[in-house]
Amino acid sequence: MSVQDEGLEAGEPAFTVSLNGSGGPLKGWVVVDTLVDSLAMGGTRMTPDVTEEEVRALARGMTHKLTLVGLPIGGAKAGIVSDGTAREETLRTFGRTVAPLLHGGLHLGCDLGVTPADRAVFFAEAGYDPRRKNRAVDMPYDWRTYYEPLVDCTGHGVGVAALAALEQLHGATGSRRVVIQGFGTVGRAVARFLEARGHRIVGVADIEGTISAERLPADDLIALTDSFGRIDRSRLPQEVTVSQEPEAWLDVDADVLVLAANHNAVNSANVHRLRAGLVVEGGNITVSPEAKLKMAVAGTTLVPDVVANVGGAAAAGLALARIVPFELPGDARKDWVFDWVATRVRNNTRDLLEIAAERPQSDPLPTLVSARRKEHR
Ligand SMILES: NC(=O)c1ccc[n+]([C@@H]2O[C@H](COP(=O)([O-])OP(=O)(O)OC[C@H]3O[C@@H](n4cnc5c(N)ncnc54)[C@H](O)[C@@H]3O)[C@@H](O)[C@H]2O)c1
């Protein structure tokens, strides 16, 4: 690739809305980073410590993700400050409060702390149905029928990114050892995907600690995991090692580390413990900017969030922009969406690592984003 680096967008988002709640208390923000043809989209994060700054960074990441895959939709994100107490009431208040935004062209989906069932609660409260859109033919079925079978799309794309990076780095890959931090929707799908392609899961972390072994069969572990990504320690086989140290996943000897959990999981205080030569961001902003710099100096390859984890957003965007062939039956439609995502993630990963190899001292992402922007113009 030979393109000029124009840099990523600087400056302010299109707009930020502070949420105080309609018909009940609420604390949060909606950040619309960019609008394309009056549309924007992004997930909704609900954690006790989410900040406006975090939501802004996530919304900017959405703009980059959608640009990288060429979808004509702007980037946005919502954040709700909550520890999940009075969950249903909070989500209903959120739905009432953001209703005008949802009806005005902003699509909000799930993110950390918000499940598909939670999304259904705030959609219903807002009276929002993504099938309805001005100026376009209606979707032939409801959002859950379209979107829920695609729940593993992000993990699929993250797995594709890991494979593409391994091929780029090592040629014919052979079997690699993989550690996955976070065993929720994304982490579980990545585990299945990489194991099915001959790689070995040697470590998995959830909020309670790290489990490691010579080989952790993905389906066996998934059978012990609840829908929030917590693994039941009491039913683990004896040969596995269990650690409660919060960052023990950094000490597992592996070739690939997939980060599929929290913000800044790898940071300046722990980056020196990294053992894997390849890190793939399945979650958003899981490596801090300072840690990224240190990883580049140490020669660790990073596939960043906006390249690797676009799958779920792309699946939603393909429907909102009415690009997906709705007439395909369920399984074929799923294959079509997964293939669409895989093609873009593979190409973006390869091109990003090529740019990185040409200019090892600088961040390759701005160059890739400006190249894609020119192609999609
Ligand atoms: N689900 C998607 O389609 C999607 C799309 C893009 C990005 N993401 C991002 O990926 C990440 C994971 O999403 P998910 O849907 O799998 O979430 P999830 O809620 O289903 O699972 C999160 C997992 O991370 C674990 N976890 C949380 N904090 C941890 C910590 N400090 N240490 C170790 N483990 C921890 C939890 O125990 C759980 O296993 C989030 O950052 C999310 O924003 C998700």
Q: Which amino acid is at 249?
A: W
Q: Is 205 in the pocket of ligand 1 (CB under 6 A)?
A: yes
Q: Where are the domains of the chain?
A: 15-62+73-128, 153-311+340-376
Whether 77 is a known active-site residue: answer yes
Q: Does the domain spanning 15-62+73-128 belong to CATH 3.40.50.10860? A: yes
Query: What ligand 1 atom has the least distance to the C-alpha of 225?
Result: 39
Q: How far is CA 326 from CA 40, 70, 131, 205, in A?
A: 21, 19, 12, 37
Ligand 1: does its nearest atom lie under 6 Å from the Cβ of 309?
yes
Residue with token string 């609660």: 121
Task: Give the C-alpha separation, 116 to 109, whole Å.
Answer: 8
pLDDT digit string (tens) for the chain, length 377 residues: 333 334 455 689 999 999 999 999 999 999 999 999 899 999 999 999 999 999 999 999 999 999 999 999 999 999 999 998 999 999 999 999 999 999 999 999 999 999 999 999 999 999 998 887 654 557 888 889 999 999 999 999 999 999 999 999 988 768 999 999 999 999 999 999 999 999 999 999 999 999 999 999 999 999 999 999 999 999 999 999 999 999 999 999 999 999 999 999 999 999 999 999 999 999 999 999 999 999 999 999 999 999 999 999 999 999 988 899 999 999 999 999 999 999 999 999 999 999 999 987 788 999 999 999 888 77
Catalytic pick among 27, 65, 77, 374: 77
Domain 153-311+340-376 - what CATH class? alpha beta
- 153-311+340-376 matches 15-62+73-128 in CATH topology: yes
Tokens of 47: 């954690």
With a 6 A CB cut-off, is 304 part of the ligand 1 pocket? Answer: no
Which strand ranges, in their side-by-side order, compose the sheet holding 15-19?
Answer: 15-19, 28-32, 74-81, 40-47, 106-110
Distance in angstroms (rounded) separating the CA atoms of residues 256 and 246: 19
Which residue carries 């899961």 as its tokens? 201
Closest ligand 1 atom, residue 309 Cα = 6
